Amino acid sequence: MGVPHKHAGTFLAARYLPEQFGAVVYGHHGGLPDTERLAEELTRIRGDGELATMAAEAIGLVEKIIPEIHPDPRPPLPAWLTGLALPEARLGVDLLMRMLFSCVVDADYLDTESHFDAAPVRLRPQADFAALLARYEERRSKFLADRPPSPVDAVRQNVYEQACEAAARPPGMYVLHVPTGGAKTIAAGGFALRHAQANGLGRVVLAVPYISITQQNAAVYRELLEPDAGSGERWAVLEHHSSVDLDQDGGTSALTQAEKAEAAERSRWSRLAAENWDAPFVITTTVQLFESLFSSKPSAMRKLHRLAGSVIVLDEVQALPDRLLRPVLSALRGLVDHFGATVVLVSATQPSFWSLQGFAGVERRSLVRDVAGLFEQLRRVRYEWRVGPDVTLAGMAAEAVEHAQTLTVVNTTKDAATLHRLIEDAAAHDATVIHLSTRMTAGHRREAIDQVRTLLAQGRAVHVVSTQLIEAGVDLDFPRVYRAWAPVESMQQAAGRCNRDGRLSEGVVVVFTAADAGQPKGSAYEAALTATGMYFGPGLADPDDLAALERYYPQRYALQQGTQDSGLGAEIEELRRNLDFPEVATRFQMIEDGLSRPVVVIRREDERDAIEAAVAMLRSPYPRGPEVLRGLQPHIASLPRHEAEAAVKSGLADPVIGDLLLWHGDYDQRRGLDPSTPEDRAGFVV
């Protein structure tokens, strides 16, 4: 047995602090334990066996060198933890232990790295937000000067100025409630940089719900913030999510030796910074952020202490899953109240979180003064409704092709494939019909979106059929949008793709309820649909009616709460109060397990060798880093679990690792994993 340093540290932590804090030291290698496991280990350490003897010897040796391991007086707990038996104080203990654990783990990793490198511990100097802000403003001005003017530019400029003006206020909970097309991304960045500078905060962490938006936003912020190549300045923007290749060295063959060296150094910095978010401007996903926050594993939690004293911007906040709202909001409130963070909730359809238990009473500071007036200024569409038993997908396809440029958004991949075929059959010969869904690989979807942008810019006839993946953050501008009946925030997000730049006197958004259309399953979705039907529709409010939205969200949440203490993740909050870290990590899953499976697809022969080599690496018995899977992300589509299982049984796919499959069947170059003929489809789904 080696020196039981974690047991010695656990003994000391439990001796000079409330006993539960011993878990911070005990778990710094293997993960935070639950209270039962901690109690068992403390009994062993305090006993008279070999472990207790060795731990005591280790303490005796260290105390001769560092007598401070026996603090006198004992370290005081923060005043906000007074009364540890109170429910909210116990949630505070959970969050404090997570942050302390992150500090211990990061220090341990850095010290180990320093030892083996025979070099000082690497610590990045404090970010120079004054310099970053000056660069941001200069490049933003150039960016605006280079783009075609828009009728809504003056409104966007007003939003930006108001957000920047609010940045001088102290840390707290802020809301950026701006209609789609109101330049939220640029305004949020301007606020965050100024706010960090004004309040001495350490970094900006921007989290968004979808990888496609993460990549889009990262490209914007890199353009505005990164130093010029060869300048010798340190990089500012870290993009960290499952699809980013932190080891990317492709495309360097045409570079000079100096440029290659800089690219290699950039890759090394990205890998290291991703481990503990040691960067001024971090762009990640809400999945990465919150699953790390509620994890119990050292590698995931190592970065959490970076959230203290940071500006945390949550974009498209309406996409946070209802079933996890209680723990998410509780943690955000704790970071603001006790760890000096600022949280900015950004959305065109701002949820009424303040109606929920645990968030009521939190001061809500708006970055814009007159939200209702702003929505009126940016009102660019009128809504029409198609309801009744005679409304069908075929009828909506026939209506769509009467117009030159349309976007139709439906709720299921099955409906998207069906409607795409219908519009292909009915469209004029010179019109392009494009499909978008998760049945296409990520790379295929990006190519399709780029094609749509080109066709729209050229004024060509184009009809796009998409699932809701197009609704958040995809910057497209159609004169006419069709949206299948859905929760109201989805209707409003779809409307954000209509007359986005205000170049028409009025765009048209048609909301339809087709008798043969499908709807996703799930209690949260069904509650949202029920609440939507109570306030929106023919004879009721339009989706951008702010007063109706304020009534909608509390009703939606109430439908999911059997009592005040149930629903919306209340069971996870109880596990947090009991300090059951492993079970919290198991229960807290941003993406519901079991609904779909990822599928690697070889679309083109020139990709085959690289994809098959990556798959072979994943299947090998030797451990592989995440970079192999990241490299496959552009080639991954998604299938409903029952279809994936049928495909494996029929030989159309076989397992790679975990849930990941390799596809051997046909891939439709228009619709992805969706056969084009009835004969093919008959053998596709068992």
pLDDT band at 233 (very low <50, low <70, confident <90, very high): confident
The rounded distance, in Å, linking the Cα atoms of 281 and 127 is 9
The rounded distance, in Å, linking the Cα atoms of 334 and 316 is 21
Looking at residue 270, its pLDDT comes to 64
pLDDT band at 248 (very low <50, low <70, confident <90, very high): very low
The rounded distance, in Å, linking the Cα atoms of 413 and 436 is 9
**Mean pLDDT calculated for residue range 455-466:** 97
Q: Give CA torsion, residues 486, 488, 491, 497, to 10 deg.
A: -140
**Mean pLDDT calculated for residue range 596-624:** 90
680 and 666 Cβ atoms separated by less than 8 Å: yes
pLDDT one-digit tens code per residue, 291-336: 999 999 999 999 999 999 999 999 999 999 999 999 999 999 999 9
Looking at residue 343, its pLDDT comes to 98
The rounded distance, in Å, linking the Cα atoms of 313 and 192 is 8
Looking at residue 209, its pLDDT comes to 87
301 phi/psi in degrees, rounded to 5: -90, -5
The SS3 assignment for 597 reads strand
Element containing residue 639 per DSSP (H, E): strand 636-640
242 or 181, which is more confident: 181
Task: Give the total residue count for the chain.
Answer: 686
pLDDT band at 471 (very low <50, low <70, confident <90, very high): confident
Q: Is 13 left (phi over 0), alpha (psi -120 to 50) or beta?
A: alpha
**Mean pLDDT calculated for residue range 221-242:** 80
Looking at residue 250, its pLDDT comes to 42
pLDDT one-digit tens code per residue, 100-110: 999 999 999 88
Angle, nearest 10°, between helix axes 325-338 and 286-293?
80
Looking at residue 168, its pLDDT comes to 97
551 and 488 Cβ atoms separated by less than 8 Å: no
Element containing residue 663 per DSSP (H, E): strand 660-663
pLDDT > 70 in the chain, percent: 90
Looking at residue 269, its pLDDT comes to 57
pLDDT band at 253 (very low <50, low <70, confident <90, very high): very low
350 and 378 Cβ atoms separated by less than 8 Å: no
The rounded distance, in Å, linking the Cα atoms of 252 and 288 is 29
Kindly state the tokens that stand for 166: 């609010």
The rounded distance, in Å, linking the Cα atoms of 439 and 671 is 7
Looking at residue 264, its pLDDT comes to 64
pLDDT band at 148 (very low <50, low <70, confident <90, very high): confident
- pLDDT greater than 90 at residue 235: no
Q: Cα dist. 397→163, 401, 417, 480 in Å?
A: 42, 6, 12, 13
16 and 74 Cβ atoms separated by less than 8 Å: yes
Closest CA to 584 of 595, 599, 574, 593: 574
358 and 330 Cβ atoms separated by less than 8 Å: yes
Looking at residue 625, its pLDDT comes to 64
**Mean pLDDT calculated for residue range 122-144:** 88
Q: In what order do the strands lie in the sheet with 636-640?
A: 636-640, 596-600, 660-663, 653-657
Looking at residue 259, its pLDDT comes to 54
- pLDDT greater than 80 at residue 163: yes
The SS3 assignment for 611 reads helix
**Bond into 73 cis (ω within 30):** yes
Kindly state the tokens that stand for 310: 């940071």
The rounded distance, in Å, linking the Cα atoms of 189 and 224 is 10
For residue 485, the 8-state DSSP code is S
**Mean pLDDT calculated for residue range 133-146:** 92
Looking at residue 3, its pLDDT comes to 63
pLDDT one-digit tens code per residue, 334-364: 999 999 999 999 998 899 999 887 787 889 9
Whether the full predicted model's pTM is greater than 0.85, yes or no, is: yes
Angle, nearest 10°, between helix axes 184-199 and 211-225?
60
pLDDT band at 249 (very low <50, low <70, confident <90, very high): very low
Looking at residue 78, its pLDDT comes to 85
426 phi/psi in degrees, rounded to 5: -100, -15
pLDDT > 90 in the chain, percent: 63
pLDDT one-digit tens code per residue, 188-203: 999 999 999 999 999 9
Average pLDDT, the chain: 88
Closest CA to 633 of 668, 660, 672, 665: 660
* Sign of torsion over alpha carbons 81, 85, 90, 93: positive
The rounded distance, in Å, linking the Cα atoms of 407 and 465 is 6
655 phi/psi in degrees, rounded to 5: -65, 150
The rounded distance, in Å, linking the Cα atoms of 414 and 426 is 19
Least confident among 81-85, 412-416, 455-459: 81-85
Looking at residue 116, its pLDDT comes to 77
pLDDT one-digit tens code per residue, 537-595: 999 999 999 999 999 999 999 999 887 678 899 999 999 999 999 999 999 999 876 67
**Angle (nearest 5°) at CA 312 between 310 and 314:** 175
Non-local (6+) Cβ contacts of 650 within 8 A are 683, 686
Alpha-carbon Rg for the chain, nearest whole angstrom, is 27
Kindly state the tokens that stand for 603: 């679309």
The rounded distance, in Å, linking the Cα atoms of 398 and 396 is 5
Give the rounded distance of the alpha carbon of 56 from its chain centre: 45
Looking at residue 452, its pLDDT comes to 97
78 or 231, which is more confident: 78
- pLDDT greater than 60 at residue 257: yes
Looking at residue 589, its pLDDT comes to 92
Least confident among 126-130, 335-339, 525-529: 126-130
Element containing residue 572 per DSSP (H, E): helix 570-577
Half-sphere exposure of 494 (CA within 13 A, CB side): 32
pLDDT band at 678 (very low <50, low <70, confident <90, very high): very low
The rounded distance, in Å, linking the Cα atoms of 374 and 365 is 16
- pLDDT greater than 50 at residue 462: yes
How many C-beta neighbours within 10 Å does residue 356 have?
19
Closest CA to 205 of 241, 249, 159: 241
pLDDT band at 212 (very low <50, low <70, confident <90, very high): low
202 and 310 Cβ atoms separated by less than 8 Å: yes
Looking at residue 85, its pLDDT comes to 58
pLDDT one-digit tens code per residue, 596-607: 899 999 999 999
Looking at residue 685, its pLDDT comes to 34
Least confident among 217-221, 223-227, 470-474, 636-640: 470-474
Looking at residue 218, its pLDDT comes to 80
pLDDT band at 47 (very low <50, low <70, confident <90, very high): confident
* Concatenated DSSP letters of 440-476: S-HHHHHHHHHHHHHHHHTT--EEEEE-GGGSSS---
